[in-house]
Amino acid sequence: MTNASVREFKMPDVGEGLTEAEILKWYVQPGDTVTDGQVVCEVETAKAAVELPIPYDGVVRALHFPEGTTVDVGTSIIAVEVAGGAAPAQTEAPAAAVPAAEPEKPAEQPAARQPVLVGYGVATSSTRRRPRKQAQDPVARQAASAVQAELNGHGAAPASPAAPVAPAAPAAPAQRPLAKPPVRKLAKDLGVDLATVTPTGPDGVITRDDVHAAVAAAQAPQQAAPAAQPAAPAAPAPSAAPAAYDSVRETRIPVKGVRKATAAAMVGSAFTAPHVTEFVTVDVTRTMKLVEELKQDKEFAGLRVNPLLLIAKALLVAIRRNPDINASWDEAAQEIVVKHYVNLGIAAATPRGLIVPNIKDAHAKTLPELAASLGELVSTAREGRTSPSAMQGGTVTITNVGVFGVDTGTPILNPGESAILAVGAIKLQPWVHKGKVKPRQVTTLALSFDHRLVDGELGSKVLADVAAVLEQPKRLITWA
């Protein structure tokens, strides 16, 4: 192909400040033709699974990582050969394709396009400076080529160590350990000097595993010292046993993506916001009858009508009557931020873990509109197509544990929110109704709230209002 170039598409930050994503599935293979906007892979971040489109036309030359690999943001994941002029900022042509007589040309071309993905700016500034100096020996040239590849996010080894472009890098960087920013941060957090770490990655790049190995090696002498004492010879033995034991009787599942983010968020919420949970058991027989009637109403034709719909509406009514419950805590400003809108979160269990998408401006929706939004939210979550934006900006949440046959629970707040309502299973139970014990549809509600901004009185009023609406659904009209 004449006048062709190879463009490297880098892992973008598809969320807000996320540092890595896992490649779930490739939709293309080397040799395939791709067009601008075509989805080439699906990746999972800490928030959701997202499909990535390629921003240009060409032929796939290489996939740098297999499915299941977690890749840092800014790292090149796919190379595409395109026809035309020079490549923009995210393009990294092989060393052999760079003209020897024009070492400055690749550094000037990125200015033609404003960088839009994380990592482009670093690669551009680095490649502009390095061609101005000459390396002093072949070893420095090879190391400098590796440094340039690492900074540009290219995971593969240099195509030609003796290529003319290699001498353009200075000898000094060869003395600096090669590691990507997330790995450097990990080393700093663990107190590891990267100069003492043995690299195992491509081109001598230090990986996360290398840092952890260095920590383990540093701790080994400390653990070995007690072993020399008569009382501690058995200490090293248990460390060797679990490895073989685990492979036979245990399964280890890596915590990453949505599950990892959920775990961190729940720990942060549980130990930041002082939780209080209150409970109420309520007769929802009339609500269940109304659900059956609405299913026959032509206004709800084609819509999903279930108890959750009326529970959501009851919570929205309770919030309108007690607006201070719909708030958040601003730690930096030491202020309570009351929201005049309700983005209603619905906790959803998916194959990738628990997610909480929310219905934007749920307070302004009619009952049929709310039913449509709930149906779309649930189906999208089950299909794994929930976008990161759908999970941002929630104000209060409902979690329906009753679908699992559970009576109720003590839910943990979604970070940044002030309240979460747990709904238990709706069951026929003996209940005193009009002075007689009768079988009635009964459920237990639990409301957890942040006691920094919601006191017991306010939390109790909200929970009591939700229960009152579900017991007498005509209050949806009288309280509106």
Q: Which residue in this structure is represented by tokens 């058991």?
A: 281
Phi, psi of 38 (to 5 degrees): -75, 135
Give start and end residues of each alpha helix (H) in 27-119. 105-108
Average pLDDT, the chain: 78
Quick one: which H or E segment has residue 34?
strand 33-34
Q: Using one digit for the tens of pLDDT, what is the confidence trace for 313-333?
A: 999 999 999 999 999 989 889
Q: Which residue in this structure is represented by tokens 């280890």?
A: 252
CB atoms within 10 A of CB 387: 15
Catalytic residue among 154, 212, 275, 451: 451
The CATH number of 4-174 is which of 3.40.50.2000, 3.40.50.10090, 1.10.3720.10, 2.40.50.100? 2.40.50.100
Superfamily of domain 177-223: E3-binding domain (4.10.320.10)
Active-site residue 451, yes or no?
A: yes
Q: How far is CA 106 from the centre of its chain?
A: 35
Query: Does residue 24 contact residue 49 with C-beta atoms inside 8 Å?
Result: yes
Q: Which residue in this structure is represented by tokens 């990161």?
A: 388
CATH code 3.30.559.10 region(s) in the chain: 258-478
CATH code 2.40.50.100 region(s) in the chain: 4-174
Give start and end residues of each alpha helix (H) in 405-455. none
| Extended strands (E) in 233-309 | 275-283
Residue pLDDT tens, the chain, 480 long? 455 789 999 988 776 567 788 898 999 999 999 999 899 998 887 667 788 999 989 999 999 999 988 888 889 999 999 976 444 444 443 333 334 344 444 444 444 444 333 333 343 433 344 444 444 444 445 544 544 544 444 444 444 444 444 444 444 454 678 887 777 878 887 888 888 888 888 878 888 888 888 877 776 655 544 444 444 444 444 444 445 545 677 888 777 776 777 777 778 777 778 899 999 999 999 999 999 999 999 999 999 999 999 999 999 999 999 999 999 989 889 899 999 999 999 998 887 778 899 999 999 999 999 999 999 998 888 888 888 888 889 999 999 999 999 999 999 998 889 999 999 999 999 999 999 999 999 999 999 999 999 999 999 999 999 999 999 999 999 997
**Tokens matching residue 351:** 């194959």
**Tokens matching residue 467:** 């229960």
**Tokens matching residue 239:** 């460390």
Radius of gyration of the chain (CA): 29
In angstroms, the Cα distances linking 424 to 53, 303, 411, 413, 442 are: 42, 23, 11, 17, 9
List the CATH code of the domain at 258-478. Answer: 3.30.559.10
Which region holds residue 208: left if phi is over 0, alpha if psi is between -120 and 50, else beta?
Answer: alpha
Q: How far is CA 92 from the centre of its chain?
A: 28
Alpha carbons within 13 angstroms on the beta-carbon side of residue 266 total 13
Q: Using one digit for the tens of pLDDT, what is the confidence trace for 449-470?
A: 999 999 999 999 999 999 999 9
- For residues 396 and 417, what is the distance between their CA atoms, to the nearest angstrom? 6
CATH code 4.10.320.10 region(s) in the chain: 177-223
